[in-house]
Structure 1
Amino acid sequence: MKRFLVAGLSGLMMTVSAPAVAAASDEGVSPFTLKGSARIRYESLSDLFRAGSEGSDQMLSSRVRIHGEYDAGRVVFGGEFLDARAWLTDSGSVIPNGSVNAAELLQAYVRIPVEGGTIQAGRFVMNAGSGRLATEQGFRNSPNNFEGVRARFSPAENWAADVFYTAPVRIRPGDRNALENNTAQIDEAEWGTRFWGVHLTRTGLPNNLRLEAYLFGLNEENGADLLTPGLRLTRPRAAGQYDFDLEIMGQTGDQPVGGNTLDVRAWSAHAAAGYTFDAAWSPRLSAQLVYATGDDNPADARWNRFNPMFGGRRGDFGTTGLSFTHFRENLIAFGPRLDLREGPAAIVVQVQESRLASDTDRWRVAGLRDTVGQSGSRIGTLAEVRGTYWLKPDRLQIEAGTMVLFRGEFARTAPGAAASSDPVYGYVMLSAPF
C-alpha cells in the first residue's frame, strides 16, 4: 500500500514541474491541443451512518485526466483518458459510486462547427444549466459521461440553446472484488436508457438577470419514463450587490413499482440569495433552501419521489466522497453559507438543517426508511468548513475540509440506523492541472 501512495505523490509532484504540451509551433498555432490534471485525495469518516454499518472508514484515491483535441478545420476530433483508483478500502468500507474507473476512455467525440454554434457526437461529459439534473460531477473520481449527440447554438441575440439526445455510460467495475482491486473494465453506454433535453437561456435582461427554461426526459427500458420541465432565474454575484438563484423543477410520467405502474407527480425547488461585500476577502453571506418531494403514501397509485437523474450534489449540499449525506430526493435542507476569497485562497463555511420531506419515505444515502413515520423526519444538522490554496499559481492546489453531521431523531432511531456517534469527515487533496 505504501508504494501506491509514494508512487501517486511522486507522479503528482512530477506534473507540477512538467510543462504542458505547447499549442503553438514555429509556423503558427498548432491544430493539436493537450491538457490534463492529476490529483490525489485522502479522506476519512469517524463513524458510518448507513444502515447495517459500524466503525470508521477511510479511502485514498487518485485520478489522472488527459484531454486532447485536433482541429482538422471543418471538424474537431477530441478524446480524454481517465484513470481513477482507490486504496485503503476493505470488506467493511463504503466505496462510493465512481471511485474506481481504471484506464478508461472518458471522452471520444467529433465536433462540427455550424453557423451560430456546434454539433457534437460521440462520448462526452456534459453540464446542462445549473447542473442540478445533469452535470459532470468533478469532485467524484469518475465524472458522469454520456454517448449521443449534442447541439449548442445561438438562435438570436441574447439567446442560447442546448439540445441533446444521449445514453448514460455505466461506470465499471461494479462488483465488490473488482472495485477493491482497481480492476480495469470497459465502460459501456446503457442504450436501454435515453436521456434527452432542450435547454434555453435568455440573457441581456434588466438588472443583469438570466432566465433559463428547459425540458429534460428520462426513458428507461422497464423503468422510469419521466418528463422534467423547469425554470430558473438568476442574478450573478458581484461586489456590493445582491444575487440570487431561483429554480423550480416539476416531474411527471410513469414509475414501475412492485409490478404496478404509478403516476409520477413530483417536484423540486432551489432558492438561494446572497450579498457580496466590497471588502477584503470579498465576503459573500448567503442562505439557501432546497426542497425535493418524497413519496407520501407507498400504498396509493401515485409516485411523489423526485428523481434528480444525473445532477450534482456538492454545490448545494457540500463535500461528497465518503461523507455525502444528501440527495435531491425526499429532502428539505436550509441554512446559511459564507464564502471568502482572496488571491490564491478561498474558504467556504456552511450549515444546513435537513429533514425528510416525507417521514414515511426513505433517506436514500443511509438506506433508512420508516414506513409508518414513527421515527420523525429530522436527519440532522450538517456543518462544514473547507478551503483551497494555490501553492503554485495554476500548477498546484491544496484543498482540505471537515464536516460533521449532528444526527437528528430519524438518523438515530429509524429501523436499522447505525448505533454510532455523530459522523465526522475530513479530507485533504492535492490537484495539479497541466
Structure 2
Amino acid sequence: MIDSMKHIYLISVITIAAPGTAWAQSASTDAPASSDGLTVTGAMRLRYEVIDGQARAGFNRSDDLVNLRTNILAEYRRDSVRVGVELFDSRVWGDNPGTPVTTNEVNVLEPVQAYAAADFDGVLGKGTRLTLTAGRMTLNLGSRRVVAADDYRNTTNGYTGLRADVVAPHGWKATFIYTLPQVRQPEDDAWIRAARIRLDRESFDLVLWGGQIARARTIGAATAELTFFHLGERDSPDRPTRDRSLDTIGGRIIAEPRTGAFDYEVEAFYQTGHLSTSLAPTAARQSVRASFIHADLGYTFARAWKPRLSVEFDRASGDKPGGAYGRFDTLFGMRRAELAPAGLYNAISRSNLTTQGIRFEAAPSKRLDWFAVYRAMWLASATDSFSSTGVRDASGRSGDFAGHQVEARVRYWIVPQRLRFEFDGVLLAKGRFLREAPNAPPGSWTRYGSFNLTASF
C-alpha cells in the first residue's frame, strides 16, 4: 500500500497551488470562445482511489493508486478558422505488479489533439452551416455509448482524420467522420509502469468511419437520431488483433429532462460483421451478431434543487456456444455516466450485461451536485465472461446473477469554475456468479472509492 503521508502531501500540493495558478492565468484566457486570437485553457486532476474485494480476475484483492492527469489546450482563432493543439499527460504512482495499470491509466506527454477547423455558411443551402475539422481530435458523438472521449478514465480516446458537421434548418444536424483511432503507446507493461514517453500511433490497420443524423422535435419535444459506424481492424507487424470488421447501426429517441415533466430515452444498436476467434494469424473467422439496448424514464420535480428520479434498463448481449459471436463491442464508448467508474473498479461495461436500476440525482446549488444509483445485474449469457470482470464459467453452472451495485457521486466547487472536489463510491454485493465462478476472486463484497481534485484554468 502507498504511504498515507504521500497521499496527504500530493493532495495538499494541488489544493494549495492550483487555485493560485488558475486565477493567475485567467486574466488572459477569459475571452469568449468565439473571439479571435489565442486562448489557452487546461485542467489538472489529482485522484486517489482505493478498492477492497476486487471483482476482476487476475488483480490484487485490495489496492490503491494515485492518478494525475494534466491537459492543456491552445487554440488560435481568426474569423471562421481555428487551429488547436491539446497536450495530455497521464501518470500513476503506487502501483505494483498486481495493480491493473495499462494505457487506460498512463499516457505521457501526448498531443491527443492537433487540428485545423473551419466554418462555411450557406454552402449546402440557405440557413446551413458546414464545419470541417482535420487532424488529431477528440470525439463525443450522440449518446457517447460507442464513440467518446472518456472523461473519468485517467487517459482519453483520440482520433486522427476528418470530421464534417452540418447544421440545417428545421432542427436537422449531422456528423460524419473518417478516422484512424489512436493506439495508445507504449504497449509494453514495463514501459507503461515506468511512464516512458512514446507517441501514440495511428494507421490504416485500425479505421473507424460513419456518422449520425438527428432531427429535433421529431416526436413532440423528442429528438430522433440514426447512427452507423464501421470499425475495421487488422494485424500490424508488432500488434496481433482479433481482425474485427464490425458494422454498428442504431437509433435513439430522447426527450431531455425538463422541470415538472417526464423525460425519456431509448437507444438500440445492432452489430454485425466478423472477427477472428483468437489473436493467432491462422485463427478461424467467425460471424458477429450482437446487440445493445438502453431505456430510461425520468421525472424532474419542480424544486429549487432540481431533484430527478429515473428508472433505467440496459442489456448488452453476450457470447453463447455455437453459431455467431454474440458479445456486444462498445467500440470507444464511455461507461461512467451510466454504469460505473473505470479506474481500479472498471468491472461494468456494455458487454454481456443485463441490468435494471433506479437513479436519484440533484443539484442543490450551482456549486454542488450529486447522484445515487442502485442496480441489479445479470449475465446476458451464463457461459460468457461477465461484463469487463474477466470472470467466467464456461459450463454455465454458476448461474447468471452477478450482484447488487450501489454507487454515488458528489461534486462541489471549492472555488467556482476553478477548483472542484469529487467523490465517487461503489458498493457491490456479489451475486452467486461472482462468488462461485471458477476464477472468481474471493469475497462477497467489493468496495471502491475515489477522491478527486480538479484545478481548471
Give CA deviations for 1:84-123 in whole Å, capped at 9, x if unaligned.
1111111221225421111111100111222312110100
* Moved segments of 4+, more than 4 Å: 3-11
- Cα separation, 1, equivalents of 2:159 and 2:252: 24
Aligned residues between the structures: 430
For 1:34, give the aligned amino acid.
V
1:88 to 77, 83, 94: 94
Matched residue SS, 1:243: strand
Aligned twin of 2:126: none
* In structure 2, C-alpha distance between the alignment counterparts of 1:148 and 1:274, rounded to whole Å: 37
Structure 1 residue aligned with 2:68, among 62, 70, 75?
Answer: 62
Cα gap change, 1:24/1:39 in structure 2, threshold over 3 Å: closer, same or farther? closer
Preserved CA contact (<8 Å) 2:103 2:185: no
CA distance in 1 between counterparts of 2:30 and 2:429 reads 54
Specify the SS of the correspondent of 1:410: helix
Higher mean Cα deviation, 266-275 or 203-212?
203-212
State how 1:5-44 maps to structure 2 within 5 Å. 8=14, 11-20=17-26, 22-23=28-29, 29-44=35-50
Structure 1 range deviating more: 387-396 or 360-369: 360-369
Gap change, CA 1:38 and 1:348, over 3 Å in 2: same
Distance of 1:155 and 1:309 partners within structure 2:
29
Q: Does 2:202 match 1:189?
A: yes
- 1:201-280 map, 5 Å: 201-222=214-235, 223-258=243-278, 259-280=283-304
Hey, what does 1:384 align to over in structure 2? Answer: 407
Q: 2: distance between equivalents of 1:75 and 1:274?
A: 40
Asked whether the 8 Å contact 2:305–2:362 carries over to 1, the reply is yes
Matched, 1:140 2:153: yes
C-alpha displacement of 1:256: 1.6
Query: What's the % identity of the aligned pairs?
Result: 31
Relative to the length of structure 1, the TM-score reads 0.94
- Please report how far the alpha carbon of residue 173 of structure 1 lies from its aligned counterpart in structure 2 after TM superposition: 2.6
1:130 shift after superposition? 0.3
SS of aligned partner of 2:133: strand
Partner of 2:450: 427
Aligned ranges for residues 10-409 of structure 1 at < 5 Å?
11-20=17-26, 22-23=28-29, 29-73=35-79, 75-95=81-101, 97-115=103-121, 116-222=129-235, 223-258=243-278, 259-297=283-321, 300-343=322-365, 344-409=367-432
State how 1:407-418 maps to structure 2 within 5 Å: 407-418=430-441
Shift of 1:197: 1.1
Distance 2:201 2:315 in 1: 33
- Say if 2:36 and 2:79, in contact at 8 Å, map to a contact too: no
Residues of 1 paired with 2:86 and 2:254: CA distance? 32
Give the secondary structure class of the aligned counterpart of 2:25. Answer: coil
* Alpha-carbon distance in 2 for matches of 1:24, 1:314: 29
The gaps in structure 1 that reach 5 residues or longer are none
Q: 1:276 to 1:232 in 2, by over 3 A?
A: same
Shift of 1:23: 5.0
Superposition CA RMSD, Å: 2.0
Amino acid at match of 1:342: P
Report Cα offsets for 1:200-220 as digits up to 9, x if no partner: 010133531100001111111
Change in CA separation of 1:190 and 1:423 when aligned onto 2, cut-off 3 Å = farther
- Inter-partner Cα distance in structure 2 for 1:55 and 1:204: 49
Q: Which amino acid aligns with 2:45?
A: R
Is the contact made by 2:60 and 2:99 (CA closer than 8 Å) also made in structure 1? no
TM-score where L is the length of structure 2: 0.90
In 1, Cα distance between equivalents of 2:256 and 2:451: 30
